Every structure is written in structure tokens, then in C-alpha cells.
Amino acid sequence: MTTARRFRVGLVQMRCMPDPAANLATAVARVGEAAREGAEVVCLPELFRSQYFCQREDHDAFDLAEPVPGPTTDALARAARDAKVVVVAPVFERRAAGVYHNSVAVLDADGRVAGLYRKMHIPDDPLFYEKFYFAPGDLGFRAFDTAAGRIGALICWDQWYPEAARLTALAGATVLFYPTAIGWHPHEKAAHGEAQVGAWQTMQRAHAIANGVYVGAVNRVGHEGPADGGLEFWGASFVCDPFGVVLAEAPRDAEALLLAECDLGHLEDVRRSWPFLRDRRIDAYAPITKRLLDE
């Protein structure tokens, strides 16, 4: 058995209220709570500072955006520094007038911005009109050195792409964090709800297995939007180990602070027994960069 460091991660599953200041205050409080419970890395949900505005195309929603560094990262950097904990902090980033990103700032335990990730895959579906708001990320798939080790962050729709997980793992991440805002169209829940949640979790557990990494997916919870429509966010935040074993899972209908231990010795053992990274045929993968192999 390889001797390696263990550390605890905390996922903050929360309801997002109409008041951004209240959401930020909740996030700061949960970071402190997670640290007191022993977490060394705390991850918040995607776009947690507001309700999920991408359900509609509304130019006024751009007023929610802010620079990095900015008010949200400043407040969470103080929380990180006070609690001596790493914070994975989603933010609606205002890069310039008319250029916005769906981003994550990784804040180290001393409050320093350790790195920035900009969401690479931008959806455009009913009630998920993100292409109206966000330019695609241009920083690539990254891993960041922190007081808790080298970690990676991807965002929601990125969850469905094995290439994103692979490249982040190849950059050295031992944990992939997925801040998320995903839910049911209420009229689809009865017919498709279980299958949708199952596919969501299965996909991310597969990323953990294929890359030999821990995965932490953190969602919001609650209904947002019109009472006769909108989205019902399904919660179900979870952490799984490098062989896809679910270590902790939150409920679908309530706020939760989820804690789980990551053991880099276990990661080493899994990769030695299932050496998927060793056996990759990197000489044969060039066609992956094509849209389709139709010629």
C-alpha cells in the first residue's frame, strides 16, 4: 500500500435565492462550516450567486456579471484565508463589455487566486440558453496547485465530455470538481427523471474510472422559475472514488453539506491495478480532433 496524503472535500448543495447578497452570505457561511468539519477543499454550485437566469434570454441579466478578481472572489478569498481552506468558486465573469464567461476561480487556502477555468462546452437548450450569455472558454483544460494538492475544475455541461475529464486528469488533477446547475423540466420528470439523473451520475463515475481520479459533482436544489414551468434542480451532489464507488451522496430535495475523504494512496493503487493511462494508444488518436470520420 502506497503511503500518501489524505484530505477531505466538502460540497455545498444549496438553494439559490433571488438576492445575490444572500446567496453569497450563505456560501461564505457554508465554507466556514465545511472547514470546521475538516474539509480542506470546498466546492460551490455553478452560478450560485443568483438564481439560474439562463432559463431566458434577458439583457438585464448581464448586470449580474463581475470581474475576477471581484466582489464574489474577494469575499470567498477572505473566507478561504480565514478558514485555511481551498475554495472552488463559480462566478459569472465579466471579462470586458460584451464578453462574459461561465467561470470558476480556484482560491487557495491563503486567499490567493490559484487559477481560473472558463467553461468550454456551452449548451443551448430549452431553459438552458447559455450561448446567449457566455463565450466559450479559451484557457483550455487545466489543473491547479493548491494547499490540498493539484485539482481540476470543469463546469456542468462539461460533465458529459470524456475529452474534458481526460485532459484535466492528464494535467495532473487528482480530483475533478464539477460545479453544476442541472434539473428537470417538471413536465418531463415523471417519464424521464430517473433516467436523466442516472445518466448524469453514471457519466461522471465513468470519468473517475477511466482517469483514476476522484470526482465531486455539486448541484443546486429547489424549483426556480414559473410555478407552472421553470426548472426543478435535482440536487444529488456526490463524491466518487477513482473506481467510481460513490462515497457520499446528497438528497434530491434539500440543502446539504457533503463531506468525503480523498486518499491519494488509494488513487495510486487503483491506477496500478487498472492502468488505463499507461495503455492509451496516443499514436492512434489523432482523428479525435475531427468532428466526424465521414470521409
Here the CATH number for the domain that contains residue 37 is 3.60.110.10
Q: Is residue 200 part of a domain?
A: yes
* Alpha carbons 96 and 113: distance in angstroms, whole number: 19
Nearest to 133 by CA among 55, 32, 51: 55
- φ/ψ region of 137 (left if φ > 0, alpha if ψ in -120 to 50, else beta) reads beta
Q: Is residue 291 part of a domain?
A: no
Nearest to 117 by CA among 103, 102, 129, 100: 103
From 16, 40, 119, 130, active-site residue: 119
Q: Is residue 282 part of a domain?
A: no
Q: Is 131 a catalytic residue?
A: no
Confidence band of 295 (pLDDT split at 50, 70, 90): confident
Q: Is residue 117 part of a domain?
A: yes
From 16, 54, 156, 262, active-site residue: 156
Confidence band of 145 (pLDDT split at 50, 70, 90): very high
Q: Is residue 293 part of a domain?
A: no
The pLDDT of 83-109, averaged and rounded, is 98
Nearest to 165 by CA among 90, 257, 240, 57: 240
Q: Which residues of 101-127 are buried (b: 16+ CB within 10 A; e: fewer)?
A: bbbbbbbbbebeebbbbbbbbbeeeee
Q: Is 290 a catalytic residue?
A: no
DSSP state at residue 130? G
Cβ count within 10 A of residue 4: 15
* Domain carrying residue 258: 6-273
From 46, 66, 93, 232, active-site residue: 46
Q: Is the peptide bond before 69 cis (omega within 30 degrees of 0)?
A: yes
Q: Is residue 123 part of a domain?
A: yes
Residues 182-224: tens digit of each pLDDT: 999 999 999 999 999 999 999 999 999 999 999 999 999 999 9
99-107 vs 113-118, strand pairing mode: antiparallel
Q: Is 43 a catalytic residue?
A: no
* Alpha carbons 166 and 152: distance in angstroms, whole number: 11
Q: Is residue 280 part of a domain?
A: no
Confidence at residue 2, expressed as pLDDT on a 0 to 100 scale: 40
Instruction: Indicate whether 169 pLDDT > 70.
Output: yes
Q: Is residue 17 part of a domain?
A: yes
* Alpha carbons 219 and 179: distance in angstroms, whole number: 6
Instruction: Indicate whether 1 pLDDT > 50.
Output: no
